[in-house]
Amino acid sequence: MIKALEEGILYAECFAPAAIIQDEHGQCRALNVNQMMQDASGDWYASESTATFPAKSILVATGAQPNVAYAFEHDGVLDRKRYQYVPYHLNESGALVPAPDVMHCKSDAIGFFTSYQRQGRTVTFLGDTHATFHGSVVKAMASAMQVAPVIDAQVSALDYSNRRMKDQTAFLKHCESMMSARVSSVKALTQDRTQLIIHAPQVALRFLPGHFVRLQTFESYAVALNALPLHSEGVALPVLSVDQAAGTVSVVVSQRTVSERILSKLRPDQPVSLMGPTGVRAKIPDQPQTILLCVTADLMVQACVLGKALREAGHLVLMAVSAPCARSIYLKSELYEASDYRLWHFDAEDGFMALGSNDVKAQGVFWSEILDWLSTFDRDSILSTLTDVRVLGPADLIETVRSELSCISDLTQVAVTRCEAAVYGPMQCMLKGVCAQCLQWQIDPLTGEKTKAVYACSWQQQPIDRIDVTHLSYRQAQQGVLEVLNGQWLSLHEKNEIHL
């Protein structure tokens, strides 16, 4: 901190970002801020005073409020007051009693227990989830130190007489076998797609359609290339399938990024880091209906999983798939299993695919071909319940479907009540509200004004009329320059023996 101040770092307190001003190249040049004030109750509000700070780099640290993502996903399990968990103490009889709201991190009155108490089990919370400690790494470490004696006292009071595993060694081996991840097999699907089967029992057990995982190599097991270890970043990957009996998870890795190219070189029996499942499970309607999936080749895995789940729930799935050519359909059998009727749209004809009785092939404008295809279906038996549209594709497809969605209602004579699109961009932690790498803007459907930024790793499928498509396209391209440079670096080392 002292050295940072010596180098000229200044603090401008009580300002909230309002807008980023861009130059003619779309790069930031200034930051507009609002002066924040506190009212009598201690709540902050934006005053009429504003300021503009020149800026070429803007770094955002999330943590302005405690992380309560779990409470939103599991409603009613933990008590919360707006955006923070309600703290509790344990009294002498072991019952939970509300603790006072304490803002000072050195107070003796801090409550570390949530409202959860079942079968003698309680849940503590600390760090960025706690209103007293959030937003500071130093405070987070202090919270761990303070809560350790509380947890130790709880564990010491537990009755172990009825535990299922009395052998500690067996228990630890069980935990290791369930939570460790190891590559079972590697299979090349195409020149640029590789299927990895990973033995990860706990991930397989908890997976639901719509979830994804974070795969990363261990540096100590990394393959060396010219004496340099090929160690990947954490990569967000959709899950193609799981086998809970075998404890395996199947993922497909492309070779668009350097990290994915490294992952495609994994070897059988190699230990890996597989975090998850994370994200949010897919929304499956209760009542059977007709559902349209608009899919491009890059999101074929997600389409297979979603379509299969919809069909198993009794829905009729119409799937329109756009790909460069028939040879790029690397999951043909899975797509057939995930759909009832299919439109295959190819940019180029290669005559590689034989069509089934429920298949149609097209080569024109994708959206126009979809509308022409839908017009061939019977309105009473199929189109009358087509009120749900899902888009799994890039920003330009999302914008097309959003602007032309009324065309489907004109065909079916019923309103589309749900239209969602996949929102994928840069991700890092994938822990739902920690690193902020996946933030995506949402807009007001009527005015187009930005309303809020959401964590895409905790909300992958978003209402199509609320997606800021321009921002999404920027986010999807923001790593482009670095990926090109890193890709050239890796290719250079792969082709040449370089002595460093």
pLDDT 10s digits, 175-185? 999 999 999 99
For 324-392, the three-class secondary structure string (H helix, E strand, C coil) is: CCHHHCCCHHHHHHCCCEEEEEECCCCCCCCCCCCEEEECCCHHHHHHHHHCCCCCCCCHHHEEEEEEE
> Which pLDDT band holds residue 166 (cuts at 50, 70, 90)?
low
Token pair in block for residue 225: 């290339």
pLDDT tens column, 13-59:
899 999 999 999 888 999 999 999 999 888 889 998 999 999 998 88
Other C-beta atoms closer than 10 Å to the C-beta of 490 total 16
Half-sphere exposure of residue 271: CA atoms within 13 angstroms, side-chain side: 8
> What is the per-residue pLDDT for 500?
44
Average pLDDT, the chain: 90
Distances, alpha carbon 2 to alpha carbons 61, 139, 437, in Å: 20, 19, 28
The crossing angle, in degrees rounded to 10, of helices 395-404 and 469-477 is: 170
Q: Mean of the pLDDT values across residues 483-488?
A: 92
Alpha-carbon distances, residue 500 vs 71, 476, 482 (angstroms): 51, 34, 22
Given a cut of 50, whether residue 350 has pLDDT beyond it is yes
Quick check: helix, strand or coil at residue 442? strand
Decide: 408 and 486 in contact? Cβ < 8 Å: no
Cα(113)–Cα(142) distance, rounded to whole angstroms? 16
Please say if the pLDDT value at position 9 is more than 90.
no
Q: Is the pLDDT of residue 63 over 60?
A: no
What is the C-alpha separation between 390 and 306, in angstroms, rounded?
10
What's the sign of the alpha-carbon dihedral 454, 457, 461, 467? positive
Share of the chain above pLDDT 70, in %: 96
Residue pLDDT, tens place only, 408-436: 999 999 999 999 999 988 888 898 877 88
What single string gives the DSSP state of each residue in 136-200?
A: -HHHHHHHHHHHHHHHHHHHHT---TT-S---HHHHHHHHHHHH-EEEEEEEEEETTEEEEEEE-
Beta pairing, strands 248-254 & 193-199: antiparallel
- pLDDT (0 to 100) of residue 107: 84
Q: Domain segments of the chain: what residues?
A: 1-54, 72-155, 175-278, 284-418, 423-499
Both tokens of residue 417?
């009540």
- Give residue-wise pLDDT tens across range 291-317: 999 999 999 999 999 999 999 999 999
12/371: higher pLDDT: 371
Angstrom distances, CA of residue 382 to CA of 79, 172, 343, 374, 480: 44, 54, 15, 10, 42
pLDDT at 491 over 60: yes
- Distance between CA 366 and CA 363 in Å, rounded? 8
Would you identify the CATH topology of the domain 175-278? Answer: Elongation Factor Tu (Ef-tu); domain 3 (2.40.30)
The verdict on domain 284-418 having CATH code 3.40.50.80 is yes
**8 A C-beta contact, residue 248 and residue 198:** yes
Taken in order 96, 100, 106, 112, is the CA torsion positive or negative?
Answer: positive
What does each C-alpha distance from 117 to 95, 97, 131 come to in angstroms? 9, 11, 20
Cα(139)–Cα(145) distance, integer angstroms: 10
Give the least confident one: 85-94, 102-111, 434-443, 446-455.
102-111
Helices 395-404 and 366-374 pack at an angle, to 10 degrees, of 40
Instruction: From residue 180, give the alpha-carbon distance in Å to each of 232, 243, 259, 444, 449.
Output: 18, 16, 21, 44, 45
For 471, the token pair is 């921002």
The pLDDT tens digits of the residues spanning 138-165 come to 888 999 999 999 899 888 887 776 666 6
Task: Provide the pLDDT for residue 352.
Answer: 67
Query: Whole-model pTM?
Result: 0.85
Q: Which residues are CB-contacts of 429 (< 8 A; sequence separation ≥ 6)? A: 234, 435, 437, 457
